[in-house]
Amino acid sequence: MQTYGKKWIQEGMAVAHKENPGCKMFVIQLVLEVRHIPNRSIKSEKKISGVLVHWWDECENVKDKKKLVEHRFHTREIVPWEIAEQGKDAIIKFLEDH
Instruction: For residue 1, count CB atoms less than 10 angstroms from its CB and return exposed for 0-12, middle for 13-18, buried for 19 or more.
Output: exposed
pLDDT tens for 15-59 read 999 999 999 999 999 998 877 777 767 666 778 889 999 998 876
| Domain tally, the chain | 1
Q: What is the pTM of this model?
A: 0.79
Please say whether the dihedral angle defined by the alpha carbons of residues 78, 80, 27 and 30, taken in this order, is positive or negative. Answer: positive
In a domain, 86, yes or no: yes
In a domain, 51, yes or no: yes
Residue 28 is part of which domain span?
Answer: 14-97
Q: For residues 5 and 28, what is the distance between their CA atoms, to the nearest angstrom? A: 20
